C-alpha cells in the first residue's frame, strides 16, 4: 500500500493537518486505542487527514506476552477501527504491558522457547480475528528476565512460528546494543529481509556512555541514522516512520528528519514493499 516515509501522528498534531498534507509524507501512523473512543473533536481531523493520506496503526496495549488471556473484545474493537479507516497495517510490540491489570509500560518477555511459542500462538489468534497479518516490533528493554535464547533467536522463532511480519525499530536496536553490549549491525543483519514490513526511527536520551533511554523525545542521533542506512544496505529500502512522542517540536523540525529518511532511502534501490 505505502512506500517511503511516515510520520507518527498524535492528538497534539491535529492542528498540523494542512502542513502534513502538503509535505512529502507518504503515510501517518496512530495508536488505534488512542483514537477508537475519541469524540468528534479528534475523530473529524483524523478522518479528514486519512481521506488524503494512508494510515497505518501501531498498537500499545495488546500485551502479546502477557500471562493474562488475550483481550478478545479489545482485538475486535481494533478490527472495527481498521475496517472503518481502511487500514491494512497493524503492528504491536513484542512485549507485554499487563498482568492482572495494565501497567502502561512495555515489559520485556523472557527470551525462552516456551515464551516464543506462547507469543506466536497469541499473534496467530490476533491475526485470525483481524483477518490481517500483523507486524511485531523489536522493543527496547532494560532488563532481560531470561537468557535461554538471545534476542535474535527469540525474535526469529516468533516470526517463523507466528508467520507475522517485523517492524524493525532501528533506534531500539541501537539502544539495546549499548545497554546490553551487543553488536547492533549483527542484530540488523540477522533479521529476515522478507519479514520486514516497515521500520521506525526515533530519538533517545544519553543517560551515560553505557545507558541509553528510548524516549522518542529528541532528534534522531547520528549513530541511529548510520544504522538505518546499514539496515537498507542489508535488506533494501522499507517504509520508515519517524516517531516523536514527547517534546513535540514545530512540524518543520520533524519534516527535516523525515526528509533525511527520504535522502537515505534514495541512496538505495527501492524494493516493492507495503505497509
Ligand atoms: Fe518504535
Half-sphere exposure of 251 (CA within 13 A, CB side): 18
CA–centroid distance, residue 228 to ligand 1 (Å): 13
CA–centroid distance, residue 170 to ligand 1 (Å): 8
Nearest 5°: the CA angle 6, 11, 15 is 85
pLDDT digits (tens, 9 = 90+) for 81-118: 999 999 999 999 999 988 877 777 888 999 999 999 99
Tell me what percent of the residues of the chain surpass a pLDDT of 70.
96
Rounded distance, CA 41 to CA 47, Å?
11
Cell numbers at 133, concatenated: 497479518
Q: What is the pLDDT of residue 106?
A: 87
CA–centroid distance, residue 202 to ligand 1 (Å): 7
CA–centroid distance, residue 187 to ligand 1 (Å): 16
Cell numbers at 144, concatenated: 532481560
CA–centroid distance, residue 200 to ligand 1 (Å): 5
Q: What is the pLDDT of residue 1?
A: 36
Q: What is the pLDDT of residue 269?
A: 66
pLDDT bucket at 272, cuts 50 / 70 / 90: very low
CA–centroid distance, residue 71 to ligand 1 (Å): 22
CA–centroid distance, residue 105 to ligand 1 (Å): 13
pLDDT bucket at 231, cuts 50 / 70 / 90: very high
pLDDT digits (tens, 9 = 90+) for 179-217: 999 999 999 999 999 999 999 999 999 999 999 999 999
pLDDT digits (tens, 9 = 90+) for 130-146: 999 999 999 999 998 88
CA–centroid distance, residue 156 to ligand 1 (Å): 18
- Cβ atoms of 184 and 174 within 8 Å: the answer is yes
CATH topology classification for 5-266: TIM Barrel (3.20.20)
For the chain, the domains span: 5-266
CA–centroid distance, residue 176 to ligand 1 (Å): 13
Residue 104 DSSP SS3: strand
Tell me what percent of the residues of the chain surpass a pLDDT of 90.
84
CA–centroid distance, residue 268 to ligand 1 (Å): 22
Amino acid at each position: 500500500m505505502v512506500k517511503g516515509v511516515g510520520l507518527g501522528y498524535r492528538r497534539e498534531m491535529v492542528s498540523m493537518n494542512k502542513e502534513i498534507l502538503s509535505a512529502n509524507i507518504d503515510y501517518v501512523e496512530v495508536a488505534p486505542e488512542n483514537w477508537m473512543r475519541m469524540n468528534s473533536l479528534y475523530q473529524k481531523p483524523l478522518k479528514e487527514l486519512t481521506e488524503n493520506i494512508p494510515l497505518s496503526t501501531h498498537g500499545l496495549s495488546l500485551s502479546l506476552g502477557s500471562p493474562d488471556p488475550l483481550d478478545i473484545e479489545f482485538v475486535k474493537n481494533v478490527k472495527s477501527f481498521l475496517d472503518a479507516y481502511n487500514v491494512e497495517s497493524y503492528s504491536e510490540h513484542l512485549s507485554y504491558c499487563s498482568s492482572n491489570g495494565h501497567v502502561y509500560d512495555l515489559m520485556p518477555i523472557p527470551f525462552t522457547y516456551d515464551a516464543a511459542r506462547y507469543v506466536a500462538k497469541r499473534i496467530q489468534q490476533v491475526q485470525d480475528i483481524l483477518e490481517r497479518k500483523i507486524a511485531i516490533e523489536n522493543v527496547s528493554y532494560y532488563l532481560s528476565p531470561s537468557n535461554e535464547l538471545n534476542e535474535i533467536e527469540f525474535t526469529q522463532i516468533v516470526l517463523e512460528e507466528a508467520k507475522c511480519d517485523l517492524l524493525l525499530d532501528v533506534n531500539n536496536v541501537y539502544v539495546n546494543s549499548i545497554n546490553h553490549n551487543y553488536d547492533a549491525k549483527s542484530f540488523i543483519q540477522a533479521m529476515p529481509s522478507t519479514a520486514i514490513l516497515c521500520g521506525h526511527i526515533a530519538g533517545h536520551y544519553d543517560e551515560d556512555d553505557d545507558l541509553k533511554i528510548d524516549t522518542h523525545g529528541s532528534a534522531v542521533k547520528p549513530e541511529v541514522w548510520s544504522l538505518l542506512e546499514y539496515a537498507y544496505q542489508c535488506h533494501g529500502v522499507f517504509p520508515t516512520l519517524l516517531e516523536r512522542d514527547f517534546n513535540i517540536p514545530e512540524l518543520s523540525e520533524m519534516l527535516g528528519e523525515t526528509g533525511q529518511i527520504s535522502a537515505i532511502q534514495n541512496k538505495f534501490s527501492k524494493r516493492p514493499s507495503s505497509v
